[in-house]
Structure 1
Amino acid sequence: MKTIYNLITLIIFSTFVGCKSESVSPANPTPVTPAPTVAEIIKKNWNASTVLWDGVSQFDKTSSSNLIQGYNQYKLDLSNPSSLSITEFDGKKFTGKYSLSTDNQKLIFTELSGADGAPSGTNGTIEYKISSTPSSNSLVLESTAPYVKASNKIVKLNLIP
């Protein structure tokens, strides 16, 4: 009888010891990798994929018949924290600084200058609304004011790395 009692006790003890409690944390938990911030995501070189002026397509990287073929050379370099370089659709190059609004909804270019000064009609500042959540392979920007170089139209840039 004592043997049966010991066997039952051993089975019950083994059952409880073998069960994991969800309230007990592991000794070395795997740290959760935080999602990258918008600032980290946009920190790279970008090229034009598609461009709209007031909603009208001007450029599509996959098309051979674009209204503004110059967007093929468009480059936006945000790889250096807070400084930028940009090559516009007309081939002009500018450097300056960039910052994100506190709510990560706007990208602001300031102190833009090039060989001929600031981009036309900007006084060295261009502000873009970030139209959709940036990802590692897509950044969508829309100018918050008409852009002189784009026939005074709102410019929407779909950018890819």
Structure 2
Amino acid sequence: MSAILKIVLPFIFLFGISSEDNIQNNIVQETTTYYFIRHAEKDRSDKSEKDPNLTAEGLKRAQIWAEVLKDIPLDMVLSTNYKRTLQTGAPIAGRKQLSMENYNAGNGYNDEFRKRTSGKRVLVVGHSNTTPQFVNKILGEDKYADIDDTENGALFIVQILPNNEILDQVLYIN
């Protein structure tokens, strides 16, 4: 896993703007940075279960996400109100000493959400369809398709700069 971190962290830091650096340089932090992940591997053993827990592999991936994001300053951790998203975000929120807050994936990127997250660094834990749809809504274009149901390691990073320029990239953590 350390090899993954050595590859991924420079990209995350390159994309992230540290508020500490901005304070030292007397620059007001106005950049909003979103980190989007899909929930980790869910238990598929009971097809009738609408809200399954994570598998052992999924719980391990949640810990990997916490490790990958450990040096990234976050202001908020948002999750849909499902066991699998809450269980994915919990190790990250715990490590950051943040409470997890719910968001409604159906409403997505609305005025209330923009106001609530403006100028912050926010982790958003979602689903195979809601995560790319949310990113697309921010970008104002249909750039990303739904995530394949077997893919649980995609990290979407979206930044809204003070001049309203939007930057995005996707990294894959396996």
Say yes or no: TM over 0.5. no
> Rg: which structure is higher?
1
Report which of the two has the higher share of helix: 2
**Normalized against structure 1, the TM-score is what?**
0.29
**Normalized against structure 2, the TM-score is what?**
0.27
Report which of the two has the higher share of strand: 1
